[in-house]
Chains A and B, each alone.
Chain A
Amino acid sequence: MKGRTVLVPEQGTAGSSKPLLVEGEGRRRVRRIRELVIEGGLLVAALVSVATTTMILAVLVVESLGFFDTVSLYDFLTDTLWTPLFDDPHYGILPLLAGTIVTSMVGLLVAIPIGTVSAMYLSEFASPRVREIIKPVLELLGAVPTVVYGYFALLVVTPALQWIWPDLPGFNMLGPGIVIGIMILPLVISLSEDAMRAVPMMLREGSYAMGATHLETAWRVVVPAATSGIVAAYVLGISRAVGETMVVAIAAGQNPNLTWNPMEPAATITAYIVQVALGDLPHGSIGYRSIFAAGLVLAMMTFTFNILGHVMRKRFREVY
């Protein structure tokens, strides 16, 4: 305490009768100004996130408007070819969209069953000791750089799949899809486990009292009660899978290809952005703008999934 003896409360102003020991008026003003400056500085820091969101939207929309000056929205949504860098350019987003959807679907087919069963096991059956070990391990796995997963997809998983299906091409959507599934598994498990653990003990005890087994309680009581939280976990997993870049850029191939067959190679929206960014397109050219239009589509998809996921997560929190 640096000798700041204060006997009056902060509200006491110059007009009030003065006690014997008062902090100087000037000093108090300095202190108040300093507080205001600090609060202002902190507010500015908090506003950076608002500014970032606004700038993301602004950059994507402005550059996309430039893109749609040349390309009609109708062609963009209906053309089945995406060849912006060719002499005969076509700008149909469908092939890229199909690639994104197929790789994400394969990922979900891996992540949802394994993730849900694992989360049920962790939440309802596992001993606290197992849980204490598994949860940090999952957290560690979620932190592995995605480019490393890309390496796995191209050089480990695809060769393994070729061993089963010898005529699978070196670039295909199946391998990266499976790897994406493994990659989003930690997220799906930990979010749906959170949702199941949030179900009050009371409901389980009621079910046990009626003679239900552990499994019956888990399946008929806990999972239904946690549905919105579990679905939220899936939705956030989808959002992550859709935005995943390096795995597909490395292992799914670079050719836009309108197909729903995961055994074929195809580029995704994210892979196309990487492909163009690696080349040296002049600023302002149509090819340069096309990555922003593709990015806008991607951003709208993930925004939608994120909002949906968060609304559902909020709902499961408020029920009890």
Chain B
Amino acid sequence: MIKRRKYAEALFKVLGLSSLALAVGTLALLFGALVVHGIGRLDWQFLTSFPSRHASQAGILPAVVGSTLVMLVTACAGIPVGVAAGIYLEEYAKRTWFTELIEVTVTNLAGVPSIIFGLLALGLFVYMLGLGASILTAGLTLALLILPVVIVTTREAIRAVPVHIREAAFALGATRWQTVADHVLPYSAAGILTGIILALSRAIGETAPIVTVGALTFVAFLPPAPITSQPPYLSFEWLMSPFTVMPIQMFAWVSRPGEDFAANAAAAGLLLVGMTLTMNGLAIYVRYRMRKRVFW
């Protein structure tokens, strides 16, 4: 009897380990396939060429530039709003139904499928505000998409700062904002940074909402340069330019029949996975460092 129970116990341990191994192993296998298919195409020519009808001459340059510019807009719009909202909810908001409402919408937005954000952007940014299928539209869409992530991580980081830090600041006559700006924010900066990196890494891989707003799948030009030779030297024309981004370029290549284009897709996938994993690794590292350096 006891022997049978011990046997069941050992059996489950094996089962548990093998199911974990199955999960992680399958993914490792899939990534292995990605590397095998794509590594041969991932060279300098691939990074600096425009897309082409000939798979072997095609490159990802417009998509890389597009992703960079879209991320710039997303970061400029999404991060300040998200961090500010997090500060408000954690430091200012009183427990009322209204605060509750804001919190419910944040949780809810975090679970809305990304393609719904694409439909929102299509109706609101593209047609109602007339921004068209531009870099600005895509950047703002992704900014709304990452908002919940930024808000939630900002709140968690701020909540980790002990109350007595705030009380000490108040006791010295600091106002609420002085307390937040001079004490709470510096102490929670690493946590907030982690959230920002995670949010941007999610945004850079998003495909569905950008497809929905009407990004192009074949772009053989670069957006106008942000810096010009004539005064005032800065140009914002690129904001309204048509564009493509890396995941969409990959999508376009996956959808085309033929071994060669599949190899291009794998190379683009490698680049994407490499970027998101680097960003996530960085975020995990920042969090780990921060946890080690807690001094209260």
Contact = CB atoms under 8 A, between A and B. Distances in A.
Interface residues of B, number: 89
Interface in A5-49: 6, 31, 34-35, 38-39, 41-43, 45-49
B276 A274 contact: no
A49 B110 CA distance: 10
Interface stretch (A55-63, A73-81, A194-202): A55-63
B211 interface: yes
Interface in B201-215: 201-202, 204-208, 211-214
A274 B105 contact: no
A50 B8 contact: no
Contact of B113 (A50, A120, A121, A270): A270
Interface string A274-302: 10011000010000000110010011001
A55 B34 CA distance: 39
Interface string B105-138: 1111101111111111011100100000000000
B123 A155 contact: no
B207 A245 contact: yes
A95 interface: no
A252 interface: no
B27 interface: yes
Contact of B254 (A38, A113, A121, A150): A150
B88 A42 contact: yes
Contacts of A145: 204-207, 247, 272-273, 276
A139 B274 CA distance: 15
Give chain B's interface secondary structure class.
helix
Given A118-B20, A156-B33, A42 B205 contact: no
Given A6-B173, A139-B280, A292-B119, A114 B113 contact: no
Interface string B8-44: 1100110111011011101100100110010000000
Contact of A151 (B5, B6, B34, B214): B34
A3 B205 CA distance: 51
Give chain A's interface secondary structure class.
helix
B188 interface: no
Given A215-B8, A245-B208, A49 B88 contact: no
Interface in B134-175: 144, 147-148, 151, 173, 175
A35 B88 contact: no
A230 interface: no
Interface in A96-126: 113-115, 117-118, 120-122, 125-126
Given A243-B114, A295-B115, A52 B147 contact: yes
A56 B112 contact: yes
Contacts of A141: 24, 27
Contacts of B102: 46-47, 49-50
A182 B23 contact: yes
B269 A243 contact: no
B281 A189 contact: no
**Pairs of residues from A and B, 10 with the lowest C-beta to C-beta distance, nearest first:** A243-B113, A121-B16, A145-B205, A45-B84, A59-B123, A42-B88, A245-B208, A306-B111, A46-B85, A46-B88
